[in-house]
Structure 1
Amino acid sequence: MLEVILSALILLGALFTFIGSLGLARLEDFYTRLHGPTKATTLGVGSLLIASMVYFSTRGEGLSLHELLVTLFLFITAPVSAHLLAKAALHLRLRSLAVVPPRAEASAPQQANRDAPSDETVQR
């Protein structure tokens, strides 16, 4: 039974880590690439560390807390480092590909008003 739990944790960790790495490599801009390592990869490495903790706690002489401390450190530092990277990118005015350029935003209300029926047409 222990081998099944360990295998599930290792496969889940490998899957999350692979998806996070794939997101880091395939997404378009800096802000979307930031989600790969901070979300999925953190869960993947956390799952692998928990599997390691369970394995060495059952095979060793006592409870293995080294992996628990590494997991806790990972879960604390990953969001903080992602936040600092995003703030630095905002400070450097790094543009995102997902944001509509300001010129298109300014003409969007004019286009919407042009297509809407005027008060004269509604009253006839």
Structure 2
Amino acid sequence: MTVEIIGTYATAILLLIGSGFVAVGVIGLLKFNDSMTRLHAPTKVGTVGIGALLLASVAHSMVLGELSMHELLIMAFLFVTAPISANFIAKVNIHLRSCETPPSPPLDDTWATLNAPDDGEDTTQGAKSA
């Protein structure tokens, strides 16, 4: 087998993997009911699918003998911005109360602070009553 044939097979496999992940992301986007569950499918699965499609483009350009780095820049931008935008969309949904709100924290004032409990203070009492 020559390098061109192996590169062509690698490109085809990456295209199949990428399109499969993108299809699962689209089905998840269409199937889920509310915006918070819809957010999960395209951000996780879609990012991997687009990454595989871009890797297929890099592999194809290498088979042709032309090295293309634009796809790697697109992947880097995608992998940096997708989690940040998903986080902002989730925060907006929580603040608009358009989704189920997360449970309240226990009545312990030391769970997310630097306050240390006093020696005789029972910090588990708030968690048991909640």
TM-score computed with the length of structure 1 as normaliser? 0.73
Unpaired runs of at least 5, structure 1? 101-124
Cα RMSD after superposing both structures: 1.8
AA at the equivalent of 2:94: L
Distance in 2, Cα, partners of 1:5 & 1:50? 9
Higher helix residue share: 1
Deviation by residue 1:60-104 (Cα, 9 ceiling, x = unmatched): 44x2110000011111111100000000111111123x989xxxx
2:35 aligned with 1:46: no
Runs of 4+ in structure 1 deviating by more than 4 angstroms, as ranges, are: none
CA distance in 1, matches of 2:38, 2:69: 32
Alignment partner, residue 78 of structure 2: 74
Identity %: 44
- 1:20 positional shift: 0.2
Q: Aligned letter for 2:80?
A: I
Q: What letter corresponds to residue 72 of structure 2 in structure 1?
A: L
Aligned residue for 2:14, secondary structure, equals: helix
Give 1:58 shift. Answer: 2.9
* Shift in CA distance, 46/20, structure 1 to aligned 2, threshold 3 Å: same
8 A contact 2:10–2:59 mirrored in 1: no
Residue 37 of structure 1 pairs with residue 42 of structure 2: yes
